[in-house]
Structure formats: structure tokens, C-alpha cells
Amino acid sequence: MTGGLPMEVPAPGLPARVRIHEVGPRDGLQNEPGVVPTGVKAEFVRRLADAGLDTVEATSFVHPRWVPQLADAEQLFPLVRDLDVRLPVLVPNERGLDRALALGAREVAVFASATESFARANLNRTVDESLAMFEPVVARAKAEGLAVRGYLSMCFGDPWEGPVPVERVVGVARRLADLGCDELSLGDTIGVATPGHVAALLTALGAAGVPASALAVHFHDTYGQALANTFAALQHGVTTVDASAGGLGGCPYAKSATGNLATEDLVWMLHGLGIETGVDLGRLTATSVWLAEELGRPSPSRTVRALSHKE
Amino acid sequence: MTGGLPMEVPAPGLPARVRIHEVGPRDGLQNEPGVVPTGVKAEFVRRLADAGLDTVEATSFVHPRWVPQLADAEQLFPLVRDLDVRLPVLVPNERGLDRALALGAREVAVFASATESFARANLNRTVDESLAMFEPVVARAKAEGLAVRGYLSMCFGDPWEGPVPVERVVGVARRLADLGCDELSLGDTIGVATPGHVAALLTALGAAGVPASALAVHFHDTYGQALANTFAALQHGVTTVDASAGGLGGCPYAKSATGNLATEDLVWMLHGLGIETGVDLGRLTATSVWLAEELGRPSPSRTVRALSHKE
């Protein structure tokens, strides 16, 4: 499909393999304006697994009032749970955890904020109150043998507060790790980070006892910085990267553009660096092209556009 | 405009200042489907200078048959030549150099290919023949006291030949440097490079006596890799980066998308890294928004879209 391109040229000091945490079906579809039929969602998750992604965040057990796009979590999860991939689901509280457990979920994620402003806007709580809410969720999930991921949003900048100090993020990250989260995903929710900022945060987290091996990075491409930031994170030992197939959820035509890093753009870079992902880029691109047709608009991923033009 | 964002966090080992070689009026407009009126072009160059860009490639003295978009070089150049910025122009041969000299150009650029296939497609010559054609151009330009840039295209991949070996690029670059070019711009014309490939090429060029200080990088965002590649180039000592205001010439809606790196996306990263550019990002973005209106289509730059949505 790409004439042997990208040419594989490793760079020193990078990992041999990166795990991509695919967030398209959850973070992507949650930020799309329309509601996608449950059957299409299930097909999407299946195709992502077929493309070689080994972790696909499937849905969210948030109250449907807040995220109507994912109100069908109970119907969707049974359609995909037998796939041979990791299928984490988002749970906001104990009620969400109950629903996920009842359906047989084996991995869950909680969603915290590094800033007070976003904690209030998104969770209607202070940071302290939200961590108190997560404490029993994480404890019960761990007791049930589930893997738990902690999302930490607004790790670099916040729309209300501006730049977010590194120490602030380290403090909340340390507390999420202490609750028992197996992995923390550092979110650049508004896409303002640059590579030096990424390096500084990862260095500070390492010094505070949260090593790169326990971290994932979750960059948004709002200002086009996501891949440069990812490269800096790889240079600092990170081996798990979040991305959204086709850049889903990052619709460049909507004012609400969040600009998720497209999995295809990430895979292009990783494969060019000779880093193994297990992903078949052609199949993944075909999946995003298919979903874009279902959604009725083109994918914002540059790689999807370039490869699908060539087809 | 951006609430103090991006936060400035330098990364170790990067330059304190980067010179941006703005290619929008030449490389950008040359690859747009329509022909822009001369007055709009002159206003574009003026606005870019006002935004703090100190090098603006103004036009091309290629035969109008090949590049009708820039057929007005003789009319345009006198409208901008008194601006207090560097205004290089592309000259393909001695005839082009004559035209540029007659108008008072102080800097010129020649355009070579690292691959035989593209030399034939673009210049209708072998690589040897094209270098022979440039030899008297560079010699006369130097004798007239002009600065000379050598573009070297297809440095990473070629649409006909696939991956381009590093040694091949080093060989042609060495010959261009020997002709007397003051600066070589390494072009990833089809956008396939990844950061390890960039590092390998820069290292090999350094070993062959072409140091980073004599180089510029010219990345295309076809697969979204341009900024990650730029970051890798900065880590290897490069301090001159080519970019196109608003991503001009990289129309994502056209099959011919070449995907120039948008100057705004580059400036966002450089300023975030605490690297001086002299550019006022707000003014630059306003310029790209203005030009996009003139062209009748939105800018493909993520930074332009994000900042103009906020206005």
C-alpha cells in the first residue's frame, strides 16, 4: 500500500515495542456530535482488534445523561467482550463499576483532573472530592482482580487556569498511584503541550516515584504537537501511548475539536522508528475509512487521508 | 490570544534561536490549484514580514509554462523588494538567474533532486545533468555576491523509487555544497520521513563534512510527521527550518496534497520549547486566516484552526 514506506530507521534509546491504547470507541465516539448505532460500534471494536490493536477502550459506564453517545454500554459490551484483546471501560463511580462488573469487564479506568477548574467543570467536585470518590472504586476493582487505569486530564494546560505547574500534576498523579492505579494516562486535554514540557513532567514524575513504565501519554493534536510530544515521551522511557483510530473525536470542523492523536499517524511514526506495535496499518486505515463513511465525514488523520487517496 | 499558552519549557541541547525560512509565497502558492492576484501575493509577503518572519521566499523565476501560478514574478518582486527581510527567489537556470539579477534579488535558490526518478520528472534531466546546469548558476550568483540555497528534494522517500538510501542523499548533498551553495535544504517531498531517519541522515551528512549549521530541513506533513521530524533535527543541531504559513500548498482536500509543514504549528512548538523565532504568532495566524479567505478555503494548519476558533 505504501511502497515499502516508511523506511525503518531506529533511533537510539527508544523502546523495541510500544503498546497502543486505542481510545477511539470510547474517547473518540464520546466526542463526536452524533450517536453511532450499537452494531456499528461493535463492528468498529472488532475491526480494531482485527487490525492488531491489543487494547481497545470499549465504552464508558458514565450516566447516559452526561454522555448520551455511549448510553448503550450495556448493549455494546456483551457484543465485544469475547474478543481476544484487552477491553478496558471507563467507570466514573461505584455505580459504574457495578455495571461494568455485572457485564464481565476485566479492566476499568477512572477519570481525574489535575486542575480544580476542570474537576469542577467535568466532575462537579473538587480534586480532593473526586479522589475520595475514586478511592472505593479502585479498591473494589483491585479486590475483584481488575486492572485499573487512572486518567489524569489537563496535565499541561487548562482552558480556565492556563499553564498547569508540573508540581501540581505530580501531586495528583502520586495520589492516584497511591490509590492503587496500575497505570496513569497523562492527558494533554487541550493539546497545548510541547516536547520540553513533556520531558520535564516525566522527569519530575520519575523523581516522585512514578516511573515511565507506569505511565501512558495521551496527547491531543489541537495545535499539531501530538507526535512531537510522543517522540519526546518515548525518549523518556514511555512505552504506552493513547491514540484514536482516524483521529476520531478530533473533528477539525467542529468548534469543540479536541483533536485526538490519530492512531494511524502514530503507527506511521512508530513503524518508521522500527518500533513494533502489532498493528497492520493498512487494515487500520481501512477501518477508519469505513467508519468515516458511517459518520458521513472524512477522517482528520493525515495518514488516513494520504493512504486512502492512494488506494 | 492563547492565555499564556504554550507554557515555555526548554529542553536540553536545543538551539536558543531558530531561523524560519518561510516558503508560503513560493512553495505554497506554487502548489495551490488557483492563481492568486499579484497584489494579494505582495500583501501576503508584506504581512509575513510584519509578523516577524525574517526570511520569506518570494517567488520563482521558473518558466511560466511550468509554474503558471508564479508567472508574475517580474511584476511581484519590485512590489516587495524594499521590505527589510531576506527575500530569496527560486532560479532554475541561468535565464532565471538573469531575470532575478535584473530585478535586484539578493538571494537565490536552486532546486535539485536526490533521486534520478524525480530529477527526470521535475527537471527532465539526470541528476548529473541537473548539477551541471546549476554549476554556472551558482558560480555567477556567488560572483555577484548573492547568497545561494540549494534545495535537495526526495531526501527520504521517492514515489517511484521508494525509500532513498542515506548514502545517495549524502552524495548529492556533498556535490551541491561543493558547487558553492551556502545552505542546503533537505526536503522530505512526499512526507514519509520519521525521526530516526532524520537523525541518521544528519549524522551521515556531518560525517561527510556537511554540518547541521549549513543545513535547513523541509518537512511535509503528508503523514503528520513534520513536527516530530523537526524536533529530531533540532536535537541534531539544525537551526533553520522551512515552513509554509497556514500550511499553504498542503491542501488536504486535493489529491495533490503535498502537506507543507504549517509555520504556525512550528512556531507553537518552538515557542513552547523557549526557542526564539522573532515571530508574532497572533499576527501570523491572522495573515493565514486572511489568505485562506482570499483562497476561499480553510487553512489546513491545526494551530490556525484552533486559534481562529477562539477569536
Q: What is the CATH number of the domain that holds B84?
A: 3.20.20.70
Confidence band for B310, pLDDT divided at 50, 70 and 90:
low
Question: How high is the pLDDT of residue B116?
Answer: 97
B163 touches chain A (CB under 8 A): yes
- Calculate mean pLDDT across residues A299-304: 91
Mean pLDDT of A208-224: 97
Q: Mutate which of A168, A219, A227, A264 to test chain B, going by most B C-beta atoms within 10 A?
A: A227
pLDDT confidence tier of residue A252, bands split at 50, 70 and 90: very low
In-domain check, residue B107: yes
Per-residue pLDDT for A251 more than 60? no
Q: Is the pLDDT of residue A309 over 80?
A: no
Residues of A whose CB is below 8 A from B309: 255, 257
Q: What is the pLDDT of residue A300?
A: 87
Q: How far is CA A184 from CA A170, A262, A270, in A?
A: 11, 20, 21
CA distance A263 to chain B (A): 11
Confidence category of residue B3, pLDDT binned at 50, 70, 90 = low
CB B195 within 8 A of CB B203: no
Average pLDDT value for residue range A27-41: 92
Residue A2 has pLDDT above 60, yes or no: no
Q: What is the pLDDT of residue A258?
A: 58
Predicted local confidence at residue B273, as pLDDT: 98
Q: What are phi and psi of B243, to 5 degrees?
A: -160, 165
pLDDT tens digits, B6-45:
999 999 999 999 999 999 999 999 988 889 999 999 999 9
Q: Say which residue, A60 or B2, is predicted with more confidence.
A: A60
- Mean per-residue pLDDT for B192-215? 98
- State yes or no: pLDDT of A250 exceeds 80: no
Q: Which of A164, A199, A228 sits opposite B227 (nearest CB)?
A: A228
Best of A169, A302, A305, A309 to substitute, by most chain B Cβ atoms within 10 angstroms, is A302
| B209 interfaces chain A, CB cutoff of 8 Å | no
Q: Is A15 on the interface with B (CB under 8 A)?
A: no
Instruction: Provide mean pLDDT across the span B66-70.
Output: 91
CB of A11 less than 8 A from some CB of B: yes
* pLDDT reported for residue A259: 86
Is the Cβ of B308 closer than 8 Å to some Cβ of chain A? no
Q: Which of B156, B223, B231 sits opposite A228 (nearest CB)?
A: B231
d(CA A185, CA A219): 10
pLDDT of residue A287: 98
Radius of gyration in angstroms for the set of CA atoms belonging to chain B, rounded to a whole number: 18
Vertex A102 angle, CA A96 and A105, to 5°: 80
What amino acid positions of A are annotated as catalytic residues?
A: 251
Residues 270 to 299 of B: which have CB under 8 A from any A CB? 271-274
Is B3 inside a domain boundary? no
The residue of chain B with its CA nearest to that of A201 is: B9
With beta carbons under 8 A apart, name residues in chain A contacting B271: 194
Provide ipTM, 2 decimals: 0.95
Is the pLDDT at A5 greater than 90? The verdict is no
Q: Cβ separation of A227 and B223 shorter than 8 Å?
A: no
Residue A303 in contact with partner chain B when CB distance is under 8 A: yes
Nearest one of B260, B252, B250, B273 to B218, comparing CA atoms: B260
Give mean pLDDT, residues B284-306. Answer: 93
What is the DSSP pairing of strand A89-90 with strand A59-60?
Answer: parallel
Q: Are B36 and B69 in contact (CB under 8 A)?
A: yes
**Residue B243 belongs to domain spanning:** 19-310
Give the separation between CA B259 and CA A244, rounded to whole angstroms. Answer: 21
Read off the pLDDT band of B259 (50, 70, 90): confident
pLDDT at A261: 97
On whether any CB of chain B is under 8 Å from the CB of A22, the answer is: no
Q: What is the largest CA-CA distance in chain B?
A: 53
B224 and A274: CB-CB below 8 Å? no
- Please report the pLDDT score of residue A236 as a whole number: 98
Chain-wide mean pLDDT for chain B? 94
**Is B203 inside a domain boundary?**
yes
Question: Is the pLDDT assigned to residue B256 strictly greater than 80?
Answer: no
Mean pLDDT across the stretch B241-253? 81
What residue has cell string 518552538?
B270
* Of A304 and A250, the one with more pLDDT: A304
User: Which residues does chain B have within 8 Å of residue A204's beta carbon, measured at their own beta carbons?
Assistant: none
**Per the domain annotation, does A280 fall within a domain?**
yes
pLDDT at residue number A25: 97
What's residue B222's pLDDT? 93
Q: Do B268 and A222 touch (CB under 8 A)?
A: no
Residue A291 CA to residue A268 CA, distance in Å, equals 20
Cα dihedral across residues A259, A265, A267, A271: positive or negative: negative
Q: Does residue A4 lie within any of the structural domains?
A: no
Q: For residue B250, name the pLDDT band (cuts at 50, 70, 90).
A: low
**pLDDT value for B107:** 98
Could you tell me if A149 and A185 are in contact, meaning their C-beta atoms sit under 8 angstroms apart?
yes
The whole-number pLDDT of residue A297 equals 86
> With an 8 Å Cβ cutoff, are A302 and B223 in contact?
yes
**What pLDDT does residue B258 have?**
58
What proportion of chain B, given as a percentage, has pLDDT over 90?
A: 87
Percent of chain A whose predicted confidence (pLDDT) is above 90: 87
CA-nearest residue of chain B to A164? B7
| Whether A268 contacts chain B with CB within 8 A | yes
pLDDT, tens only, A134-187: 999 999 999 999 999 999 999 999 999 999 999 999 999 999 999 999 999 999
Give the whole-angstrom CA distance, residue A109 versus residue A218: 14
Q: Measure CB to CB from residue B162 to each of A4, A262, A268 and give the nearest one.
A: A4
- Reported as a pLDDT band with limits 50, 70 and 90, residue A311 is very low
Whether the CB-CB separation of B97 and B60 falls below 8 Å is answered with no
pLDDT at B300: 87
Q: Is residue A7 part of a domain?
A: no
Tell the residue number behind the cell numbers 495566524, with chain if given. B285
In a domain, A14, yes or no: no
DSSP state of B213: G
Which residue shows C-alpha cell 469543540? A256
Write out chain A in H/E/C secondary structure. Answer: CCCCCCCCCCCCCCCCECEEEECHHHHHHHCCCCCCCHHHHHHHHHHHHHCCCCEECCEECCCCCCCHHHCCHHHHHHHHCCCCCECCEECCCHHHHHHHHHCCCCEEEEEEECCHHHHHHHHCCCHHHHHHHHHHHHHHHHHCCCEEEEEEECCCEECCCEECCHHHHHHHHHHHHHHCCCEEEEEECCCCCCHHHHHHHHHHHHHCCCCHHHEEEEEECCCCCHHHHHHHHHHCCCCEEEEEHHHCCCCCCCCCCCCECEHHHHHHHHHHCCCECCCCHHHHHHHHHHHHHHHCCCCCCHHHHHHHHHC
Q: Please indicate, yes or no, if residue B7 is contained in any of the structural domains.
A: no
User: How far does A199 lie from chain B, in Å, by closest CA?
Assistant: 7
How many domains are contained in chain A? Answer: 1
